[in-house]
């Protein structure tokens, strides 16, 4: 049977575009449907604008730290509007780059909503398009909890579009998005209260990372309320009144803030209304079910990225998509491994991790089978400014094989350092391999090869 396209991609985020371009390089005729701006959550409402705001938030501390090195005091104020405009202009620039990449790859873009009609037919706007293979890469979206007055809260996606800087904000949620936004806003000069349902932030991360970041955030001045949940939000002439209930306290507490940020209350696959039922595609736990090759229950339809709810990170979606394209169009069958995927939390201080946490390693191999090496110190940079900023580094090692199962860090440039460490962990490096590596002195990173 003849089809309009060899591959049609539903979704123009990072995963979808990477897949489309890779397939086109192998000679496939490819189309992409995206009703929104190209680049998906990461470029438009996530990683990119967030990281730019992280950079902006670091300058006040750097101004103060410079005095310890002999520089005269700096008096500077933030122009919120200028910052937000600059961030959004960069996003627009990246949208244009994605468009050029598609054009250069001869991938046809359909700027319209797409819906599956059957296993080989997609309705795109007013058109019906057929394809031999179909890739679903529609990502996810933030979920608002059911709460009286929740319409007054700002979801994480919209934090980059606030027209004015809030003087004070309450952040709901303890995940990495909530932690990152709390740190960003605090260091930009906003008073921050973060409410956490449990005792600690960052569930799923290594316990030492969780403890260290929470302690540092509180030391910097962020108020973290644990065992606390919101019960209602009221809009008043003076701001937003948020009713809070803390476990063990008989009475509710009311706080008055300029804004409420829903930063970590969950995300879900963006699969409603795209016609999965028309193509008989299986959904499990609210996500598209796929096998190790990203194949759905229909052999010619695949899915990658957040809509599959495996590891919801942009580089994972890109790698999943490229593995699919290599396998199906490049004659190079390969799997995307979801083991030892590094990740980072762009909080202040920053954290990064790869491999198993200490808890996971002991659960998998047994308490006595694991040895942990760790260090905590003040980096040289903070000595002259006289600041008590700490860096944490940790290696989780299997005794029997000496293999490094996990590496974790909290501190400046953690993501840059762990990216390199991740290669060693992925290759199965041992603690002896780390010990045999000569450190770069003086640097924080050398501690990873000197721990005893």
Catalytic residue set: 441
Task: List strand residue ranges (DSSP E) for 44-172, in order.
Answer: 108-110, 114-116, 121-124, 127-136, 140-142, 154-155, 168-172
- The rounded distance, in Å, linking the Cα atoms of 387 and 70 is 15
- The rounded distance, in Å, linking the Cα atoms of 293 and 165 is 45
Task: Name residues whose C-beta falls within 8 Å of residue 302's C-beta, 6 or more positions apart in sequence.
Answer: 133, 134, 135, 136, 290, 293, 294, 295, 296, 324, 328
H helices present in 229-334, as ranges: 314-329
Instruction: Assign 3-class secondary structure to 149-190.
Output: CHHHCEEHHHHHHCCCCCCEEEEECCCHHHHHHHHHHHHCCC
Report DSSP state, residue 445: G
Helix orientation angle between 176-187 and 47-67, rounded to the nearest 10 degrees = 40
Residue with tokens 């590891």: 311
- The rounded distance, in Å, linking the Cα atoms of 339 and 426 is 8
Report DSSP state, residue 196: -
């Amino acid at each position: 049977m003849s089809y309009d396209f060899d591959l049609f991609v539903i979704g123009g985020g990072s995963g979808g575009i990477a897949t489309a371009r890779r397939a086109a390089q192998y000679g496939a005729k490819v189309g992409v449907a995206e009703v929104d701006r190209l680049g998906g959550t990461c470029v438009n409402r996530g990683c990119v604008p967030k990281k730019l705001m992280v950079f902006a938030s670091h300058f006040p501390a750097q101004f103060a730290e410079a005095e310890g090195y002999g520089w005269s005091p700096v008096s500077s104020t933030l122009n919120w509007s200028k910052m937000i405009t600059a961030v959004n202009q960069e996003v627009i620039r990246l949208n244009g780059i994605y468009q050029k990449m598609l054009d250069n790859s001869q991938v046809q873009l359909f700027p319209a909503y797409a819906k599956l009609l059957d296993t080989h037919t997609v309705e795109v706007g007013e058109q019906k398009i057929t394809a031999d293979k179909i890739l679903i890469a529609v990502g996810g979206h933030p979920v608002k909890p059911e709460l009286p007055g929740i319409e007054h809260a700002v979801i994480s996606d919209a934090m980059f579009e606030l027209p004015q800087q809030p003087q004070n904000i309450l952040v709901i949620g303890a995940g990495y998005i909530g932690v990152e936004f709390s740190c960003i806003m605090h260091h930009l000069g906003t008073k921050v209260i973060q409410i956490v349902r449990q005792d600690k932030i960052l569930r799923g991360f290594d316990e030492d990372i969780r403890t260290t970041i929470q302690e540092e955030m509180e030391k910097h001045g962020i108020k973290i309320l644990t065992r606390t949940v919101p019960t209602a939000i009221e809009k008043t002439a003076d701001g937003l009144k948020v009713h809070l209930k803390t476990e063990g306290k008989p009475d509710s507490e009311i706080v008055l803030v300029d804004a409420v940020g829903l930063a970590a209350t969950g995300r879900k696959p963006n699969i409603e209304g795209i016609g999965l039922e028309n193509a008989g595609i299986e959904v499990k736990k609210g996500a598209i079910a796929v096998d190790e090759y990203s194949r759905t229950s229909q052999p010619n339809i695949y899915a990658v990225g957040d809509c599959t709810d495996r590891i919801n990170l942009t580089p994972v979606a890109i790698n999943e998509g490229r593995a699919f394209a290599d396998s199906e169009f490049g004659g190079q069958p390969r799997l995307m491994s979801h083991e030892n995927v590094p990740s980072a939390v762009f909080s202040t201080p920053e954290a990064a991790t790869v491999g198993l946490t200490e808890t996971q390693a002991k659960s998998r191999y047994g308490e006595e089978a694991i040895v942990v090496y760790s260090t905590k110190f003040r980096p040289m940079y903070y000595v002259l400014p006289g600041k008590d900023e700490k860096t944490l580094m940790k290696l989780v090692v299997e005794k029997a094989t000496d293999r490094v199962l996990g590496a974790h860090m909290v501190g400046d440039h953690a993501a840059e350092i762990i990216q390199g460490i991740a290669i060693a962990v992925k290759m199965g490096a041992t603690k002896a391999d780390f010990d045999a590596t000569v450190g770069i002195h003086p640097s924080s990173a050398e501690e990873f090869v000197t721990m005893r």
